[in-house]
Amino acid sequence: MSNEFIPYGRQSITAADVEAVCEALTSDFLTQGPLVGQFERAIAKLSQCKYAVAANSATSALHVACLALDVGPGDSVWTTPNTFIASANCALYCGASVDFVDIDPQTYNLCPVRLAEKLAEAEASGCLPKVVIPVHFGGHPCDMRALYELAQTYGFSIIEDASHAIGAKYKGTPVGQRYSDICIFSFHPVKVMTSAEGGMAITQHEHLAERMRTLVHQGVTKNKLELETTSPGDWYYEQQVLGFNYRMTELQAALGLSQLERLSHFIERRRALVQRYYQLLSGLPIQLPGEADYGFSSWHLFPIVLNEVLAEQRASIFKYLRDHQIGTQVHYIPVHTQPFYQQRGFNWGMYPVAEDYYQRTLSLPLYPDLTDEQQVRVVETLQQAIDQAIIL
């Protein structure tokens, strides 16, 4: 068997993708042409949402989503510690503060029960969050109905960070369709589908879509209807707020559109590989990620959790796998333990479930082009890694 490096995730690029990008490259527009709008409409349709706004990354989309919901100084935004740092940083970009809610030990998503407890405490001390950002970790949807009911009770908004979860469903409907104000996707190459860099915000609310669209375009509007009374001619545009250049390019949209045609195949293949992992890994002293009855996962990640004995050897198991060309990874170092967040008053011990999970987890390779043979190599190498860890 060959011994090439197997990463934990990677993009799947075909000749059709290459052709689509080359066609965009030789068209009249490299940016702000027809493809970005086409990509937005396609993602909106897939998500059964009225509006979609493309951005140059999910990080940018999270930033403008927070701004569209009026997040600013004096506000608090809550998210999960088990996420990529961008889910928290977006609040700080707006001058707001960040706080975290511990995770559920089964799904590793933000725990609705912990959220309810924390909200009750926050109400008593008068510091309720303005926005809560649940993350569909690994592609597995959060229990959105429970979060939505809490949002109704306590009056906060919800931004779903669905960076891992395009194509995932909650109770049969696409994520972002119903239980939040705004939902964000990432098209970074390791995610479920890619536009190289790229992100998208979807919403059912016209005013939020308009605000986000203005913010990704330097705060400028050229909307003819809006400018009807002020416009002296066709050259005219107006800056109405302070915005950013967060635009997606035509090349990115061309790749995204081409990838979107294969999204259901990507997810089918991921799901088939997960079923194979369940068979191949049964009997090992590890907890495997599951799917709740309300969720259809897009399976961005396959995070295993080592039992308590093995967890002490996590670093050596990681190293053994890497030394044997298996690109395992750890998702995620709890955000609140980053030095930057520790400087802001957070510390180890504050979110014990996320911290315990972090100490014991490893993500196994999972991506559409992973072959059955490569997957067997992953499992055999993991078995060896565990054997040597037990001897240590």
Ligand X SMILES: *Cc1c(COP(=O)(O)O)cnc(C)c1O
- The answer to whether the beta carbons of residues 223 and 43 sit under 8 Å apart is no
The answer to whether 222 touches 237, Cβ cutoff 8 Å, is yes
| Per-residue interface string for the shown chain with ligand X, residues 105-144, x marking contact by CB under 6 A | ------------------------------x---------
Residue 350 makes CB contacts below 8 A (sequence gap 6+) with 100, 336
User: Which of 47, 76, 186, 363: binder of ligand X (CB under 6 A)?
Assistant: 186
Nearer to ligand X, 180 or 186 (CB): 186
Quick one: angle between helices 372-391 and 263-281, nearest 10? 40
Q: Contact with ligand X (CB under 6 A): which of 17, 161, 181, 250? A: 161
Number of chain positions touching ligand X (CB under 6 A): 14
Whole-Å CA distances, 362 to 286, 319, 329: 10, 11, 6
Q: Name beta bridge partners: 391.
A: none
Q: Among 54, 52, 65, which Cα is nearest to 159's?
A: 65
Under rule CB under 6 A, residue 83 binds ligand X: yes
Q: Is 87 near ligand X (CB under 6 A)?
A: yes
CA–CA–CA angle 168, 171, 177 (5° rounding): 65
Smaller CB distance to ligand X: residue 57 or 203?
A: 57
Q: To the nearest whole angstrom, how small is the minimum distance from the Cβ of residue 162 to ligand X?
A: 8
| Candidate segments 3-11, 159-167, 257-265, 341-349, binder of ligand X by CB under 6 A | 159-167
CB of 389 to ligand X, least distance (A): 28
188 part of the interface to ligand X, by CB under 6 A: yes
Using the rule CB under 6 A, which residue among 8, 39, 84, 156 binds ligand X? 84
The single-letter DSSP state of residue 31 is B
Rg over CA atoms, the chain: 22
**Positions in 56-75 near ligand X (CB under 6 A):** 57-59
Among 160-168, 240-248, 254-262, 376-384, the segment contacting ligand X (CB under 6 A): 160-168
Query: CA 181, CA 262: separation in Å to the nearest integer?
Result: 28
Task: Round to whole Å and give the CA distance between 81 and 69.
Answer: 22
- Site for ligand X, residues 5 to 64, rule: CB under 6 A: 57-59
Which residues of this chain interact with ligand X, rule CB under 6 A? 57-59, 83-84, 86-87, 135, 161, 163-164, 186, 188, 199
